[in-house]
Amino acid sequence: MQPKPIRIGTRGSPLALAQAHEVRQKLLDALGADAPDIEIVVLSTAGDRIQDRALAEVGGKGLFTEEIEAGLLDGSLDLAVHSSKDMPTVLPEGLVLDHFLPREDVRDAFISLKYPTLDALPAGAVVGTASLRRQAMVRRLRPDLEVVTYRGNVQTRLRKLSEGVVDATLLAMAGLNRLGMAHVATAILDPETFPPAVGQGAIGIETRAGDRRIAELLDRIHHPATGLALATERAFLRTLDGSCRTPIAGHATISGASIHLRGLILTPDGVTAHSGEATGTDPEALGIALGERLKALGGPDFFRGH
């Protein structure tokens, strides 16, 4: 009897499709002759349709996942492929995000057709980015620049840059690599001074909790070290109640049994920032501990009113 086809849900942007095809190919390679049919199902999400406002104004990260998660919950999809940094830390009941491909480059790329680096931008130059983290960190490093909200997929942002809408933009190096577009990066930002978003560079695979068949197939392509890093970072973000309204950076690295986590919280204007790091072996405990420490440093008003 022919096994039931596997249906992968994804958004329709070129990057989302590249990620879904990467998961599909890894499954086919891992399962070999036993592989069932694997179909890619493209869904439009509210986050794709609303392009004229910042995500924080219209509902945050869940805008990129709701339609896809509905398909998982009603059984029309078997798994969903996401950029982990776009995933809310609290998922709908009955869904889990616990399989990951090996992590790509976590760094941010600086892209400009006129200037070689962020430091080289003249005062008053316009930097466009939709990420509150990137906006806050640019303002912190270069308070003399104008920072504007700038949305769209990678291709749209690069087109706007070429049209002169902004002088520079920032994109995830991982996305450029996956699209075969690493050459468009003018400079790569040092993660020590410009730390990444939680989950940046990691493809996450969301499934129904308790779906043994799908979980066992995904176990074949899961990357355990990335899973540990992401569990740590997501516990950190969840502890800070990280929404699209709060600039937060977090990056966990794995060395043997040891996990090292660096975290940063900023006010949207970049004026105030608190950072910290911690090392341990339990991802959940480590993420929560550093989250609580930064929360205490920020004080009760830090996450209000932004």
Half-sphere exposure of 19 (CA within 13 A, CB side): 28
- Of 86, 105, 108, 211, the active-site residue reads 86
Give the Cα separation of 298 and 233 in Å (integer).
18
Contact (CB, 8 A) for 179 and 14 = yes
Tokens of 243: 């929404």
Q: Which runs of consecutive H residues, i.e. helices, occur in the chain? A: 14-31, 46-49, 55-58, 66-74, 132-141, 154-162, 173-178, 212-219, 224-239, 283-298
Give the Cα separation of 87 and 53 in Å (integer).
19
Q: Annotate 206-224 with DSSP letters as a single string.
A: EEETT-HHHHHHHHTT--H
Contact (CB, 8 A) for 291 and 239 = yes
CB proximity list for 159: less than 8 A, separation 6 or greater = none
Tokens of 63: 């805008």
Q: Which residues are registered as beta bridge partners of 251?
A: 262
Residue pointed to by tokens 């990137």 = 134
Q: What are the b/e assignments for 209-248, b being 16+ CB within 10 Å?
A: eebeebbebbeebbbebbbbbbbbbbbbbbbbebbbbbbb
86 is catalytic: yes
Give the Cα separation of 51 and 31 in Å (integer).
39
Secondary structure (3-state) at 56: helix
Catalytic residues: 86
